[in-house]
Amino acid sequence: MRLFRLAFKNAFRHRFRALLTILAMAVALMAFGVLRTVVTAWNVGIDAAQADRLVTRQAVSFIFPLPLAYFDKVREIEGIESVTHSSWFGGIYIDRQNFFARFAIDAETFFEVYPEYMLTPEETENFKKQRNACVVGADIAKQYGFKIGDKITLEGDIYPGTWDFIVAGIYQPKFKSTDATAMVFHWHYLNERVAEDWPTRANLTGWLTAKIADGNRAAEISAQIDDLFRNSAAETKTETENEFARGFIASFGAIFGAMNFVSFTIVAIILLVVANTMLMAARERTREYAVLKTLGFSVGQISALILMESTILSIVGGTLGLGLIAPLIAGLAEAVPKAWFPIFQLEPITVFLLALAVVFIALAAAIFPIRRVARATIVEGIRFAG
């Protein structure tokens, strides 16, 4: 018999209590994992953002448009390879619940600037030549059953009215972090109708995206762009796509800050559950630990015994939690609309944090029982009545 066997037997001495502790730990770790996955899924936009792409928007706010004329002016700046422009369309597809991003884009330049949205040459050709064509991401094509040639009808909200589109292509994401849940269509198709129905809103676009040759020149070129439009009616703010994504996400900072807080609070709760179990166990075994000391076991050896017991409970609970979290996240990824979280998966960093939480809990939960054992004298322990 080795000390580990005694620790193992001790861990499961009260089977029901051990089971409840393990289940509490597994459930809490799963909750922690889901929350962390939501936070990382939300941040995926930052990961997908490119350092060599600049986004130019109105300095006042993202929601105010830019004159289309800016597009041509920005193209002339040295160091910029290509520029495209996009506008948020909004709209409703059948029901408000069917949410996915819809953009009016410049068909000639969009796929040059965003090569991670992959179309076949044939699809690109079809899209460019058809005025009311649209391209949809592979994920929403799968979700709504869109096929090439299908008609998609949107009910406009920002741009009221009924808008019909023909699916000319289904883009494939180049990277894991590429959003495959967007729908893009010709800005000209939008602008024609806007010019007729709301002439003051014509020839405007949401933002410009410029691909630069050298990412190290991002600050310099951004300043050049903004200088170009300084003191105009629509001053601009240009930043890298990465900074832009961070700024956008920061506007939801309170929500995700709260989620972060809750996820770490969960770890603290599990710690309290396991620590409580360990403290109860140590209290019940006060006399046994005193007997072990009498037999010649050192405080260090008894501490190791307690630490092993805490580790066994934490590892069993952690393994169960980790074992269940992968299918849980996979199930949630299926259940949650793709457009909410285009990439919803268990990231290595989440697994690492879970494993770290297990180790932390195992160590921290053993501290108080060890302290108790170290402080108690043998005589006090032997006389302990429980």
Partner 1 sequence: MPPAIQVTGLAKSYFRDGHEIPVLHNINLNVQQGDFLALMGPSGSGKSTLLNLIAGIDRPTRGEIVVEGAEIGRMSESQLARWRADNVGFIFQFYNLIPVLTAFDNVALPLLLTKLNKAERRKHVETALGIVGLADRMKHYPKQLSGGQEQRVAIARAIVSDPKILVADEPTGDLDRNSAAEILTIIKRLNSEFGKTVIMVTHDPHAAEAAQSVMHLDKGDLIGAAA
Would you tell me which residues interact with partner 1 (CB under 8 A)? 1-3, 5-6, 9-10, 13, 287-288, 291-301, 377-379, 382
Closer by beta carbon to partner 1, 237 or else 285: 285
3-class secondary-structure state, position 131:
coil
- State in angstroms the smallest separation of the CB of 243 from partner 1: 59
Closer by beta carbon to partner 1, 15 or else 147: 15
- State in angstroms the smallest separation of the CB of 286 from partner 1: 11
Q: Where are the alpha helices (DSSP H) in the chain?
A: 3-11, 15-42, 44-48, 69-75, 110-113, 121-129, 138-144, 187-197, 218-228, 241-250, 253-284, 286-295, 299-335, 348-375, 378-383
- State in angstroms the smallest separation of the CB of 311 from partner 1: 18
Closer by beta carbon to partner 1, 321 or else 381: 381
Give residue 151's identity as a one-letter amino acid code: K
Closer by beta carbon to partner 1, 289 or else 344: 289
- State in angstroms the smallest separation of the CB of 287 from partner 1: 6
CA distances, 321 to each of 27, 33, 98, 137, 160 (Å): 6, 9, 32, 34, 49
Task: Write the DSSP string, 275-291.
Answer: HHHHHHHHHHTHHHHHH
Closer by beta carbon to partner 1, 240 or else 303: 303
Contact call for residues 240 and 76 (beta carbons, < 8 A): no
- State in angstroms the smallest separation of the CB of 361 from partner 1: 23
- State in angstroms the smallest separation of the CB of 309 from partner 1: 11
Give residue 111's identity as a one-letter amino acid code: F
Closer by beta carbon to partner 1, 242 or else 286: 286
CB within 8 Å of 348: residues ≥ 6 apart? none
**First CA to last CA distance, the chain:** 27
- State in angstroms the smallest separation of the CB of 369 from partner 1: 17
Closer by beta carbon to partner 1, 279 or else 299: 299
- In degrees rounded to 5, what are phi and psi of residue 224? -60, -45
Q: What count of Cα atoms within 13 Å lies in the side-chain half-sphere of residue 161?
A: 10
DSSP state of 119: -
- State in angstroms the smallest separation of the CB of 277 from partner 1: 16
Closer by beta carbon to partner 1, 318 or else 381: 381
